[in-house]
Amino acid sequence: MANPSAVSSLPSEDAHALQQITGCELVDLLLPDTNGLLRGKRITREALEKVYADGICLPMSLIATDITGNTVEETGLGYDIGDEDRICRPVPGSLRSVPWAPRPMAQLLLSMEDGNGGTFEVNPRAVLQQVLAGFRQLGLTPVVAVELEFYLFDAVPDPQGRPQTPRHPQTGLRSDSTQVYYLQELDDNREFTDAVDAACRLQRIPADTAVAEYAPGQFEINLKHRNDALAACDDALFLKRTIKAIAQQQSKLASFMAKPFTGQAGSGLHLHVSLLDHQGRNLFAGSAEAPAPALLNALGGLQRVAAESLLLFAPHANSYRRFVPNAFVPLNDSWGFNNRTVALRIPHSDARNTRIEHRISGADANPYLVAAAVLGGILDGLEQRLEPGPATVGNAYAQSEFRSPLWQEAIAAFSASEFVARRMGERFRHIYGQQKRREMQDFQAQVNDLDYAWYLRTV
């Protein structure tokens, strides 16, 4: 055990967590960027007190690097300002162990400051904090839970460089069937799911459900709801890191890519939200026959901002391949009770637990930014008393207009959005919009195998 006096400079919760890591030698300092990637530094245990006291310096441009790790000059965070450093400080209460590490290790979230000692407003956590401030002004508390879908692949791709599902531990065969919710799939991958469960317990990640999903090698792990939206998104970030690390440890690859395979299900990030008043009562409580006015207003707000928020729900080129019919992926802003074909689902529950399940986002999205957009839309709906369209009963794909969203259109809608500027900040809108525009331009400039297959000989 660490000497208690040696951790006295840490917040009490972090000091206690550190004491539980016997012989801790190293600490990973994690700064989530706008793409949801974890950047930062690895320090020795002896340097930790200084980090709490003084923070550490990291380039400001790290917050909005592109998906390949390059600085996006159009954001104004690179050469224009001399690629300046900013102080990054620990997020109190976020220290926890790294159970899969070969040496005793801790990990700790960071938050980047601006040049004046305040929080840099483009921090994903800061973007969400800004939206949550609106709820506090109304005396309301969002309750949030995150569901994450992902694929489990062999670490080694096939001869064409494409991912392949792992071999069955007994038969040696690769799964090629869709056995949704099939318990045998969980049994076959028990070594992986048990290791993830054990690692989550050691990190205080409240994961409580695992299911086999709608494609070979696809799984979903759900997190318990929290009345602290920031902590719920922290959980999601730590869970993704855990799943990837355990998979790598077992010679596998876990991917949260939105659409790894043509013809198979994509992976989503579903956000469940209810809303408590100052007395702890759920404002969404009601039934399909008598929905609560606050629920209808929230749905109206989510419908109103769906198009201009899409870039936060579907941030990458691959994200848009997920939007295909009849694949349990919403293609519009429809809503309904107990209906998985809609975008905004009210799951079956008792009245007290009535909530909205927002189903638009891909698993490749940043959970903080998804939550900020969803909660911001709900806040608009409540404040402006917006009303949704009629509820969808039955197959939304057969009843609703088919929309095939495009990355370019999503970037344009986001960059012009008054809602995004008002709820999340004009600087965030500018920086994130420029980051995604640069990623799109670089992606479209690539010549890929399909170009050669379609055009090399035919034109």
Q: 429 and 320, same structural domain?
A: yes
Is residue 458 domain-resident? no
Q: 319 and 190, same structural domain?
A: yes
**Model confidence over 182-237: pLDDT tens digits?**
556 667 778 888 899 999 999 999 998 766 555 677 888 899 999 999 999 999 99
Q: 351 and 278, same structural domain?
A: yes
pLDDT: which is higher, 245 or 404: 245
Report helix, strand or coil for 87. Answer: strand
The radius of gyration computed from the CA coordinates of the chain, to the nearest angstrom, equals: 22
The CATH code of the domain that includes 406 is: 3.30.590.10
Q: 143 and 110, same structural domain?
A: no
**Model confidence over 324-339: pLDDT tens digits?**
887 778 878 999 999 9
User: What are the b/e assignments for 207-222, b being 16+ CB within 10 Å?
Assistant: beebbbbbbbbbbbbb
Q: What is the DSSP letter of 365?
A: S
pLDDT at 181: 46
Is residue 216 domain-resident? yes
Final residue of a structural domain among 69, 97, 120: 120
**Is a pLDDT exceeding 90 seen at residue 110?**
yes
Report helix, strand or coil for 198. Answer: helix
**Model confidence over 38-47: pLDDT tens digits?**
999 999 999 9
Q: 151 and 116, same structural domain?
A: no
pLDDT at 326: 74
Final residue of a structural domain among 120, 146, 164: 120
| Amino acid code (one letter) for 347 | P
**Is a pLDDT exceeding 70 seen at residue 447?**
yes
Residue 176, CB-side half-sphere exposure with 13 Å CA sphere:
3
Tally the domains of the chain.
Answer: 2
Q: Output the average pLDDT for the chain.
A: 91
Q: 137 and 99, same structural domain?
A: no
pLDDT: which is higher, 352 or 42: 42
Is residue 457 domain-resident? no
**Range in 16-20, 31-35, 159-163, 213-217 the model is least confident about:** 213-217
Q: pLDDT band for position 436 (50/70/90)?
A: very high
Q: 31 and 114, same structural domain?
A: yes
- Non-local CB neighbours of 205 within 8 Å, separated by 6+ positions: 199, 223, 235, 238, 239, 242
Q: 332 and 225, same structural domain?
A: yes
Domain of 176 in residue numbering reads as 131-451
pTM of the model: 0.94
- Non-local CB neighbours of 108 within 8 Å, separated by 6+ positions: 14, 27, 28, 29, 30, 48, 51, 90, 91, 94, 95
Closest CA to 360 of 408, 328, 390, 337: 328
Is residue 143 domain-resident? yes
Structure tokens at 343: 């975008």
The CATH code of the domain that includes 36 is: 3.10.20.70
Q: pLDDT band for position 1 (50/70/90)?
A: very low
Q: 156 and 48, same structural domain?
A: no
Q: Are 368 and 125 in contact (CB under 8 A)?
A: yes
Dihedral angle of Cα 111, 114, 120, 121, to the nearest 10 degrees? 160
Rounded to an integer, the average pLDDT of 414-441 is 98
pLDDT at 5: 44
pLDDT at 188: 73
Q: Are 432 and 122 in contact (CB under 8 A)?
A: yes
Distance CA 323, CA 330 (A): 7
Is residue 456 domain-resident? no
pLDDT: which is higher, 216 or 355: 355
Q: pLDDT band for position 164 (50/70/90)?
A: confident
Owner of token pair 């707000």: 301
Final residue of a structural domain among 96, 120, 144: 120
Q: Are 313 and 361 in contact (CB under 8 A)?
A: yes
Q: 185 and 276, same structural domain?
A: yes
Distance CA 179, CA 197 (A): 22
**Is a pLDDT exceeding 90 seen at residue 165?**
no
Beta strands in 12-104 (DSSP E): 26-32, 38-44, 56-59, 85-90, 96-97
**Model confidence over 240-255: pLDDT tens digits?**
999 999 999 999 999 9
pLDDT at 2: 44
Distance CA 16, CA 328 (A): 43
**Model confidence over 356-403: pLDDT tens digits?**
999 999 999 999 999 999 999 999 999 999 999 999 999 888 887 777
**Model confidence over 264-319: pLDDT tens digits?**
889 999 999 999 999 999 999 999 899 999 999 999 999 999 999 999 999 999 99
| Residues above pLDDT 70, as percent of the chain | 92
Q: Are 183 and 279 in contact (CB under 8 A)?
A: no
Beta carbons within 10 angstroms of residue 131's beta carbon: 23
